[in-house]
Each structure stands twice: as C-alpha cells, then as structure tokens.
Structure 1
Amino acid sequence: MRIQYQDFLIRTWEAGDRQAAGEVIRSVLAEYGLDWEPTGADQDALEVETAYLQRGGEFWVVEWQGQIVGTAAYYPVSRGEAAVEIRKMYLLPLARGQGLGRFLLQTLEGTIAARHLQQIWIETATVLREAVQLYESSGYQPATGVEVARCDRVYVKTLKSVD
C-alpha cells in the first residue's frame, strides 16, 4: 500500500523500518510523559511480523523527505463482532496540524470496512489530547475495558457495511 497525502507518503511497513518506527513511537510517548514499553505495551511495534502481519492486520509508516515521521496499525481482536483495534497511531510534531492524522484515521477505516470488518476499538490516554479530540470528532464512542496500563480511555465505532 502506498498513498500520498500532501508531502507525506503512507506505505506498508518493511522490516528495515523497525528501528525508525519504534523511535517515532518512543519519541511521541516521551513528549507526553508516557513510558516506552519495549517489553510490554510497545512490544508489538518491534515484532510487527507476528503482532500484525501474521494476525491479519497491517502496520503502516508515514514518510516525509525519506524519514519516518509517523505510524498507524490495526489488527483483529476478539473484543466484538468482526472487530479490530487501531494501534500505534503516532505522528511526530512536524507531521501534525495538517490534517494528516484525520486522513490516516479515515484511510484505516476505509481499509477496515473494505475487509467487511464492523467494529473498531481504540485505546488511548487522556494526556494525548489531540488523539482524544480526533477520535471523538470522528464518531468514536467512549466504552469500557481498557487493557493497556498507560491508557485510561477506550473508544469504539461501528462501521457501516461496504457493499
């Protein structure tokens, strides 16, 4: 998958992206005072093949001028009917404020809907204010059942079926 958004290229993760993608996630978490957990909640970002690809999910990176400046991913979960969880949606500061986050979320939703999946779950932390605002303004409803310790919010959205 390769999609252009303004000066950004959104593409499928490759094995050579592991370190740079992990650094984007670590950097954004640190910016908001959250811990990078390479042997816990963030292990999936270092083990993309087993955590996403082999489970039927996808992991994308966002490039700007040849450098990785963002990530976004999803994988199937047994939390609901034909459900997935969107994970690891992070953008470095230079990639924010241009509509890229909303475009990424809409692209993820379109990809998920095309696979005839019906429910999207997202966990986040209140401190990630921009993410919370994006999810709430995109029709995600507060839910219960936070599974990741650093997160204190969970959202769900049911997609309209794509025929």
Structure 2
Amino acid sequence: MQAIYKDFLIRDWQTSDRDLAAAVIGAVLAEYGLGWEPVGADRDVLEIENYYLATSGEFWVVEFQSQIVGTAGYYPFRRGEKAVEIRKMYLLPPARRLGLGKFLLQELEKAIAAKGFQQIWIETASVLVEAIQLYESSGYQPATGVETARCDRIYVKNL
C-alpha cells in the first residue's frame, strides 16, 4: 500500500516502525484517558507480523514530513465467514480535522473489498467522539458483542 493524501504518505508498516507506531497509539489512547495494554488489547501492535501480516491483513502507517503521525490496520475476524476487524486507526492531533481519517477509512475499505472480504467490524470507545462520527457517517451500524475491555461500542458494515 502506498497512497498520498495532501502532505501525508500512507504506506505499509515496516519492522523499523514498530516502536514509533506503538508510541503514536499509546499517545492517542492517553489523550482520551484510555490505557495502553501491551499484553491485552494492544498486543497486536507489538506483534504486527503475527496478527496482521500472517493472516491476510494489513497494517499501515501515516507519515507527515518523515514522522509517523498515524496508524491503521485490519485482519480477519471470527464474527463472520468473510469478516475483518479494522484496528488501531489512530491519528495524532496535527493529522486530524483534515479529512485524512475519512480518506484512510475509505482506503481500508477498498483494500478489504479487494481481498474478497464482505463485512467490516470496528470496536471503539464512547470517548472517541470523532471516530464514532466518522464511522456512523460512513455507513457503519451499531451492533452488539464488544470484546475489548476499554471499548463500549461496536459497529459493522456490509460491503
């Protein structure tokens, strides 16, 4: 994956991105009062190869002036036969309110559809108001069955 949105580069994650990507996610979680869980909900960030790359998923980073300012990924999910879960879609404050989140979500959806998946799930927390607005305005429907402790909302979209 490689895409450009304004002055942002969206590209495939590389091993050298591991600590920086984790730091971005940790910073956004802290900003919203959510905890970093390296042995729980955030283990996938430390093991991108196992959770994303080895399962037909993808994990991307967003760069601005050679600095990682965002992340996003997806991997197959057991809720459906051809289902994935979008995970770790986070942007640092300077990358927000520019339409980048919407662009990123659309690029994820295109990549997911191209691999033949038919359903997308997203878990989130009520404090992530901007994310919820994005998902709802992009056709995601509220669902039930949240599995992540720090999340209290789940959405689904059929492609």
The structural deviation recorded for 1:78 is: 1.4
Alpha-carbon distance in 1 for matches of 2:30, 2:64: 21
Moved more, 73-82 or 90-99: 73-82
Letter in 2 for 1:76: P
Question: Residue 63 of structure 1 corresponds to which residue in structure 2?
Answer: 63
Letter in 2 for 1:60: W
What pairs up with 1:1-163 in 2 under 5 angstroms?
1-159=1-159
Alpha-carbon distance in 1 for matches of 2:146, 2:100: 26
TM-score normalised per structure 2: 0.99
Alpha-carbon distance in 2 for matches of 1:137, 1:81: 25
Alpha-carbon distance in 1 for matches of 2:106, 2:81: 20
| CA offset digits 1:12-60 (Å, max 9, x no partner) | 0000000000000000000000001111100100100001101110000
Alpha-carbon distance in 2 for matches of 1:81, 1:54: 18
Alpha-carbon distance in 1 for matches of 2:151, 2:139: 19
The structural deviation recorded for 1:137 is: 0.5
Alpha-carbon distance in 1 for matches of 2:87, 2:28: 14
Letter in 2 for 1:51: Y
Q: Which runs of 4+ in 1 moved over 6 A?
A: none
* Structure 1, unpaired ranges of 5+: none
| CA offset digits 1:52-95 (Å, max 9, x no partner) | 10111000000000000000000001101300000000000000
Alpha-carbon distance in 2 for matches of 1:144, 1:111: 25
Letter in 2 for 1:15: T
Letter in 2 for 1:118: Q
The structural deviation recorded for 1:102 is: 0.1
Counterpart of 1:71 in 2: which secondary structure? strand
RMSD: 0.5
Alpha-carbon distance in 2 for matches of 1:87, 1:125: 12
Counterpart of 1:61 in 2: which secondary structure? strand
The structural deviation recorded for 1:114 is: 1.0
Letter in 2 for 1:142: P
Letter in 1 for 2:120: I
